[in-house]
Chains A and B, each alone.
Chain A
C-alpha cells in the first residue's frame, strides 16, 4: 500500500488518464444502450462512430497511464503571459471559480446587472487588484453597459432580475 502511495505521488496526471478512460466507457455504454434495427439505407448506423471514439479514448487512457507510470509527463502549456516557474496558484483560481459559480447561481434571480457586477468585481479581486472603489465602479459600468448594449444593439434581453422595472 505504502509503495503504491509513493508511486502515485506527484502523478496527478493519472487522474487525467482515468478521466479519459471514464469518457471511453461512458461513450461505449451509451452506444450499447442504443436500440436500432439494421437498416439497408444506413448500414453504418448510429453506433459505429461511438464505438470507434470510445475505443480510441480507452486506448489513449491505457497508454497514457503506462506512460505516466514510466515517468512521462505532459508539458504544461506556456504562453506570453504565463509564468511556469511557480506552481499552480490555487489562491487565484479558486476565488475566480467562486465568482463564476456565484454568477451561475444568481443570474436568474438577481439579474445580469447585479450578478455580472459581482462576477467582474470578484474576478478582478481574485486576480489581485485591491482598488476596491475603482474596480467597483468599472464593474457596474461593464454590467450596465453590456445589459443595455445587448438590449438596444442586439435585441437580446438579459435578465433584469431584482432590478426589473428599474432598468
Chain B
C-alpha cells in the first residue's frame, strides 16, 4: 500500500505541466534518435547531460526516461522499414518485421510493434514498481562486503558475458577503472594520476568522459566508415491492425514481456537473449509456422515486447542498486553522479520524490509514445531525409559545446578529443565501450566498499567474505567466469544439442538478400541459453591464448552460425 501511495505522489510530481513538457520533449527526442541511424539513446542522453545542469534533477530524469523508452520505439520503426536493426536488439524484430513490410504489411508490423511496446513497457514498469522496493529492502540490509561482491559481480558479468572477446572486455574495463582513479583519493586526499595538472585534482568530469566515448568516438568511427549508399526504405502509411492481427498479437506480447523483464533485470541479461527466446517460442507455438521467414506478425509482436520489457527490467538494478547493465543506464547513472545524487540502495530513501516521479513518468512517457508513434509513423520516417554530414557534424558540434559548457575550460575539450580518439581506437580494435563506462562509474564505489569492509575487519582480508550473501555472490562470480569452460566440455560431449541457427546478417544490405528465418532447431528453447554462452565463448577465443582455452576451437557442426549470431549481438550491444 505504501508503494502505491508513493507512486501516486510520483504521478502528481510527474504530471505538473513543466514535467509533462520534459516528458514530451524526451519521447520526441528519443523517437528521433531511435529512428536516425548512427545515434542512439545512450549518445543522446550523454549529449544532453551538460544542458541539463541547470534543470531540476527530476525534470532532467523524466526527460532521460522518455529518451530511453522512445529510443526503443524509434528503433523498431527503422528495423521494420529499413532492415537496419537500430537499438540494442531490434535485430530479431527486423527478421519478420522487414519481411512484413516488404509484402505490404508495414502498417500492421509497425502497429504491433508500437502497441506491443506499450503493453510490455507498461507491464514492465508495473513490475519495476513491485520489485524495486523489495530489492531495495534486501539491499539495505547488506553490509559493505556484500555490496562490494555485488559490484564485482556486475563488473565481471558485463565484461565477461557480454561482447565477443573476454580479453578485450577486460582491457576496456581496466582502462575505465584507471580513468576512475584520476583525482584526489576521497579518504586520504592523496592525488592519483594527475601528472601535476591542477585541473585533474577533482577527477575527470564524468560528463566529459561519457560525451567523449559515446558521442565523439562514435561520430569519428562512423565518419571513418561512412556508408555512401542510400538505404532502401519502404513507404509507410498510418499503422493499423485488423481483428486477426490483434488476435495473433496479444499472446506474443504477454509472453515476450515475461521473457524480457527478468533478463533485463539481470546484471548481464540485456535484451538480445529474451528477444531471441521470444522469437523461437512464437515460432514454435504459432498456428502459422509456415509464415515465419515470410513476415509472421507473431515474430514482430513477441520480440518487440521482450525488448521493451527488458528496458524496464534494466531500470530495476539501476534504481534499486545503482548498477548499470546497459549503456543508457550507465549514462543515466553518470547523470545521477553529476547532480550530486548518490546512486545505490539508499536512493529510494534519500530521493523518494525523484525516484517515484521518474517511475510515474515512465507510465506517462509510454502512453505518449503510443500516441505520437501510431499516427505519426510516416512523419518519423521523413527524418531519414536528413543529410548525413549534418547529423554527424551536429553530434561533434553539440559534444564540443556540451563538454565546454560544463566548466568553460578549453582543457576539457583537449580531454574530450583524447578520449574521443580512445573511443575511436576501441571501436577500431573491437574493445567494447560498455565495460569502460561501467568500470569508470563503479570503480570508485568498489574502492569505497573495499576500504570500509577491511576497515571493519581491521585489515583482515577474510572480512571480504564475512557475510553469507557475499559468499554466495562470489560463488556466482566464479560460476560466471568458469561456466563457459564447463559448458564447453558438455558441449563437446553432446554435439547434438547445438544451435542450428540462421539469423539474418547484421545491419545493412546483405540482410535484404535472404534469410529463411529458421533460427533454431527443436529443443533450442531449453538449451539455447547455454549454447549461446558457449558460442560466444568460442567466438571470443578465436585466436585467443588464454591458457584454458588454447586449442579448444572445436565445436558442433553449427558453430559458424552461432558465432555469427553472437558477433552480431555483440555489435548491437556495444552500439546501444
Contacts and interface: CB of A to CB of B under 8 A. Distances in A.
Direct contact of A and B (CB under 8 A): yes
Interface of A: 13, 16, 19-20, 23-24, 26-27, 30-31, 34, 36, 39-46, 48-50, 53-54, 56-57, 60-61, 63-64, 66-67, 70-84, 86, 88-90, 92-93, 96-97, 99-101, 103-104, 107-108, 112, 116, 119-120, 123-124, 126-129, 138, 142, 146, 150, 154-156, 158-159
A117 to B, nearest CB: 10
A75 B225 contact: no
Contacts of A89: 223-226
A109 B541 CA distance: 51
Contacts of A66: 545
Contacts of A156: 53-54, 405, 408
A32 to B, nearest CB: 11
Interface in B435-476: 443, 446-447, 450-451, 454-455, 458-459
A77 B213 CA distance: 14
Given A31-B192, A49-B450, A81-B38, A75 B227 contact: no
A72 B542 contact: yes
A123 B396 contact: yes
Contact of A20 (B54, B174, B428): B174
Nearest to B87: A80
B221 to A, nearest CB: 7
A117 B568 CA distance: 38
B318 interface: no
Interface string B160-190: 0000110110110111011001000101101
B429 A93 contact: no
B38 A79 contact: yes
Contacts of A26: 193
A31 to B, nearest CB: 7
B508 to A, nearest CB: 7
Interface stretch (B6-14, B339-347, B384-392, B484-492): B384-392
A90 B424 CA distance: 12
A46 B188 CA distance: 7
Contacts of A116: 397, 400-401
B85 A80 contact: yes
Contact of A43 (B185, B410, B458): B458
A61 B171 CA distance: 8
Contact of B404 (A43, A54, A76, A107): A107
A72 B84 CA distance: 28
Top 7 nearest A-B pairs by Cβ distance? Answer: A74-B430, A72-B543, A43-B459, A123-B393, A80-B37, A127-B389, A81-B38
B37 A81 contact: yes
B396 A76 contact: no
B226 A96 contact: no
B569 to A, nearest CB: 11
Given A56-B170, A127-B389, A92 B223 contact: yes
17 contacts: A16-B425, A23-B174, A27-B193, A36-B190, A40-B458, A61-B171, A64-B168, A67-B545, A80-B575, A82-B225, A92-B223, A92-B224, A96-B396, A119-B397, A127-B223, A142-B397, A156-B54
B97 to A, nearest CB: 15
By DSSP majority rule, is chain A's interface helix, strand, loop, or mixed? helix
A27 B226 contact: no
Contacts of B528: none
A74 to B, nearest CB: 2
B78 interface: yes
B175, B228, B388 — most chain A CB neighbours (10 Å)? B175
B484 to A, nearest CB: 16
A43, A56, A74, A108 — most chain B CB neighbours (10 Å)? A74
Given A81-B38, A90-B224, A63 B546 contact: yes
A56 B177 contact: yes
A58 B86 CA distance: 36
Nearest to A57: B174
Given A80-B84, A124-B393, A156-B408, 14 more contacts: A20-B171, A44-B455, A50-B192, A56-B170, A64-B168, A75-B571, A79-B221, A81-B226, A86-B225, A89-B224, A89-B226, A103-B400, A142-B394, A158-B401
A124 to B, nearest CB: 4
A139 B451 CA distance: 51
A42 B454 CA distance: 8
Nearest to A26: B193
A53 B424 CA distance: 22
Given A64-B167, A90-B224, A150-B405, A100 B181 contact: no
B101 interface: no
A158 B54 CA distance: 15
A80 B389 contact: no
Contacts of A39: 188
A123 to B, nearest CB: 4
B53 A154 contact: yes
A34 B86 contact: no
A111 to B, nearest CB: 12
A77 B389 contact: no
A79 B544 contact: no
Given A74-B168, A79-B222, A30 B193 contact: yes
Nearest to B510: A85
